[in-house]
Chain A
Amino acid sequence: MVLDERLRRAIEGAGEPADPSGVYEDLIRRRERRRMARRAKIGGLSIVVLAGSIAVIVLLSRVFAPTESRPGADGGVAPSVQPDQTPTDVPSTGEDIGLRFPVCNVTSVAGVFAPGVDGTAWVATKTGDVGCPSLGDGMQLVAVDVSGDGVADTSFGPIQCDPWCSTFAAPDVDGDGTDELLIQNIQFTIAGLRLYDVRSDQDPTVTPVTVSSPGYPGEGLAPGAEPQLWIGGDAFDSDALRCFEDQPPPSGPGRVLIQTSASEEPPDSPDAVWRATETWFDLQPDGTVAIVDHGDFEEPVGSGPPSFAQQNRLCGARLPALFGG
């Protein structure tokens, strides 16, 4: 008790309580700025969608122009099949990706989710009765076209997003020749990612990957938890993901996904070192990940990138440009 009391007093003396005056007003200002930024982002997204639609219409009108205006370059016979003139039935309040309801705020990524088939994964918001909810509001979901016909074969939702989710990449995390799905669930310069397992069986499924027992509870990786992955960084912090081909079973786990989180300490010092923590994830056939290794290491901060610097590809998938792609 004496030691605890002395430590309590020592730490008590080191803490300096903050002055709360003016903080409420700061919060109000911060909230307003965020609302304006969100509106601006939605506006920007609408402009991009509109511009994309116009570009597609122009492109299609050129492709399906009257035959006499576009004879074959070699003077051959122009196509005899005329385009269907029926207007495309596009819901005014959302997009149809094959679910039983229209969706909006759609992002997508290409992937091979069934052997040899080019598929697509989407993250989208279910369109409500009064139209598209604001980005970050409403029910956000993930959907996957496994069969390559352009419509979703399976979906999962609602998914937890902060404040909204988007598709990120489709890496082959377990090296079985088909892709898994990474979704960005935390929108920040350092991106928070969640891994989804896609099954292409008779009844395709897409489900969040969870930690198998015993996990690593001390680092928030308790059994059943969805591992929160990170990628990105700045001058003093770096989060990176990479694939590593370990010994194949039964000698080793085979291909593993490695998360490295490192801080430069002390920052901006000639004696600085990267203090890094590495966690090895092994995706199991049942869609869970086993934590097969977890440890710390250090390396000096040199003039070049650290050994764990993010590469532009992850398990065969190209990453978004902001994160090394």
Chain B
Amino acid sequence: MRVDEVAIREFLHTSYPRLVAAVALTSGSRPAAEDAVQEALLRAWERSEKGEEIDSLEGWVTTVALNLARSGLRRLRSERRARSRLAGSAVGAPPTADRVDVDRALADLPRRQREVAVLRYYLQMSIREVASVLELEEGTVKSTLFRARAALAQALGIDENEEANDRGSR
């Protein structure tokens, strides 16, 4: 596909809000997530202008944004910039206890499990899409998701056997 102004505006309207949230959930930094997604979008635009073909803008930007967000230096710089921007402005509402728990549970997961869980549960990607974005085998995604699922359930106090119990009681 050709990445032009129309495609960029469409992406910003449809995919950008949730992709930034997803990258923030995986990186633990909202400023780094915004910076990474914007940088990835810009790179897609520049590459398309040079004639490079990009099959799926959303997939491409997700892959590159996640790679960029892993860079600690970029994270540090984005946060510094955000702090200087926010200096003196009103502080937003504090996060709820539930949200803090989820943030902490995700943060405690190994990076790969965290990314798989967020892409699957938050961006609602299929196993195949997650595998494509993270450049993994589908089997690897499944096993990683299985481990992430168990760890998250334990961290959030969700009974993994609830499903089986529900079935058994029917």
A14's contact among B17, B20, B42, B102, by CB below 8 Å, is which? B102
Inter-subunit contact B106/A11 (CB<8 Å): yes
Task: For the complex formed, measure the closest distance between the CB of B77 and the CB atoms of chain A, giving whole angstroms.
Answer: 9
Inter-subunit contact B122/A12 (CB<8 Å): yes
CA distance A18 to B25 in the complex (A): 12
Main secondary structure of the interface of B (DSSP, over half): helix
Inter-subunit contact A7/B152 (CB<8 Å): yes
Q: Is B127 part of the binding interface, using a Cβ–Cβ cutoff of 8 Å? A: no
CA distance A233 to B76 in the complex (A): 11
Q: Is A304 part of the binding interface, using a Cβ–Cβ cutoff of 8 Å? A: no
B17's contact among A7, A20, A27, by CB below 8 Å, is which? A20
Q: Is B8 part of the binding interface, using a Cβ–Cβ cutoff of 8 Å? A: yes
Inter-subunit contact B12/A20 (CB<8 Å): yes
Given contacts A7-B153, A14-B103, A218-B140, whether A234 and B121 have CB atoms under 8 Å apart is: no
What chain B residues lie within 8 Å of A237 (beta carbons)?
Answer: 71-73, 76
B-contact 0/1 string along A219-238, CB 8 Å cutoff: 01010000000001111110
Q: Is A217 part of the binding interface, using a Cβ–Cβ cutoff of 8 Å? A: yes
Which bracket fits the contact residues of B? 35 or more
Which bracket fits the contact residues of A? 35 or more
Inter-subunit contact B8/A27 (CB<8 Å): yes
Closest to A236 in B: B72
Q: Is A250 part of the binding interface, using a Cβ–Cβ cutoff of 8 Å? A: no
CA distance A14 to B9 in the complex (A): 26
Closest to B144 in A: A218
CA distance A7 to B120 in the complex (A): 10
CA distance A30 to B40 in the complex (A): 12
Inter-subunit contact A23/B30 (CB<8 Å): no
A-B contacts besides A13-B99, A17-B17, 17 pairs, CB < 8 Å: A2-B163, A7-B152, A8-B121, A10-B102, A11-B121, A15-B25, A18-B21, A27-B38, A27-B41, A30-B38, A31-B42, A190-B72, A218-B140, A233-B72, A234-B73, A236-B72, A237-B73
Enumerate the 8 nearest inter-chain pairs by beta-carbon distance, A residue then B residue, closest first.
A237-B72, A17-B17, A18-B20, A15-B21, A14-B102, A20-B12, A2-B163, A11-B121
